[in-house]
């Protein structure tokens, strides 16, 4: 199948939740305010619960209990809430995929671990919006679910990773595209923020060797490093933390191994809590 066919099928099968669409519309409307957004969230019990858990998590380290959406909006910030609602909306839309073809727990573990490494490295390197990097990391692999829905046998073939064959290299061989390329195309079709799509599109071009890492911005370099580092968590018998990250990444990001190890420790520490928010079923086997 071609990329356009995968996206057309995904758009016909999956749709963003009403709350996500309404909040996106409010954010894009200059006349709306924070109370309007809080009202939409409050009418969605599942989204309300997730946002309160997020605001009370170690990601924000607020000293007292956050028990209202209005307070959560103050702590997380409007951009942070918007990004989380988008991530949750995409995850909810694609949650209809039920299969025994691939390991969905692995999918979620990989997504969350990548997101947490992105956030930690983004904070260490003082990027402008580490929370948006978190969302890009969380969503980078949803193309896998799109491929799985349309061509499950191909998705299964893409599981054949080896130490000499990264997942995106196997995807390129099997699909003539990568999962992150499918992700970027779907998010673009849904008209989601360019600030989330751009680093994913750049990552796709890096994977397909259309772009050299030295030509990219810091956010793309962080995402590139994070997807490598997540492999040692989800495929521990195939990839090792000490050598899964290409050596040039340290120089590209101006980081040493201590900073990278801190990011790995942070992701290991927080992954269970984020999995409990995003996909509790996967957290049970973490």
Predicted model pTM: 0.91
pLDDT tens figures, 138-163: 999 999 999 999 999 999 999 999 98
Residue among 263, 270, 254 nearest 221 (CA): 254
Whether the predicted pLDDT of 261 surpasses 80:
yes
Highest mean pLDDT among 10-19, 89-98, 271-280: 10-19
- C-alpha to C-alpha distance for 150 and 108, rounded to whole angstroms: 19
- CATH number among 1.20.1250.20, 3.40.50.970, 1.10.3210.10, 1.10.40.50, domain 3-283: 1.10.3210.10
pLDDT tens figures, 6-65: 999 999 988 888 888 898 888 888 788 888 888 999 988 888 999 999 989 888 888 888
Per-residue DSSP letter, 177: S
Tell me the residue ranges of DSSP E strands in the chain: none
| 244-to-122, 237, 249 alpha-carbon distances in Å | 20, 12, 11
- C-alpha to C-alpha distance for 49 and 165, rounded to whole angstroms: 40
The token duo for 179 is 């999962």
Residue with tokens 């858990």: 53
Give yes or no for a contact between 125 and 222, defined as CB atoms under 8 angstroms apart.
yes
- CA geometry: angle at 284 spanning 108 and 186, to 5°? 20
The token duo for 92 is 């909810």
């Amino acid at each position: 199948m071609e990329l356009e066919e995968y996206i057309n099928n995904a758009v016909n099968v999956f749709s963003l939740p009403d709350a996500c669409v309404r909040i996106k519309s409010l954010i894009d409307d200059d006349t709306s305010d924070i109370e309007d957004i809080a009202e939409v969230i409050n009418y969605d019990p599942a989204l309300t619960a997730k946002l309160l858990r997020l605001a009370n998590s170690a990601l924000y380290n607020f000293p007292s209990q956050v028990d209202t959406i209005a307070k959560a909006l103050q702590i997380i910030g409007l951009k942070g809430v918007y990004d989380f609602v988008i991530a949750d909306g995409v995850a909810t839309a694609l949650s209809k995929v039920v299969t025994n073809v691939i390991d969905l727990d692995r999918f979620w573990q990989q997504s969350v671990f990548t997101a947490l490494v992105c956030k930690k490295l983004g904070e260490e390197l003082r990027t402008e919006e580490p929370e948006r990097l978190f969302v890009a990391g969380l969503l980078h692999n949803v193309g896998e679910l799109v491929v799985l829905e349309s061509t499950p046998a191909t998705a299964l073939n893409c599981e054949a990773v080896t130490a000499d064959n990264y997942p995106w290299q196997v995807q390129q061989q099997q699909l003539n595209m990568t999962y992150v390329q499918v992700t970027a195309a779907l998010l673009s079709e849904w008209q989601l923020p360019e600030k989330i799509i751009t680093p994913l599109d750049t990552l796709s071009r890096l994977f397909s060797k259309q772009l050299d890492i030295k030509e990219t911005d810091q956010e793309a370099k962080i995402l590139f490093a994070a997807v490598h580092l997540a492999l040692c968590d989800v495929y521990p018998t195939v990839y090792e933390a000490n050598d899964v990250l290409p050596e040039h990444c340290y120089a590209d990001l101006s980081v040493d191994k201590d900073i990278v190890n801190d990011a790995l420790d942070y992701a290991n520490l927080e992954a269970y809590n984020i999995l409990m928010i995003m996909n509790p079923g996967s957290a049970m086997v973490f």
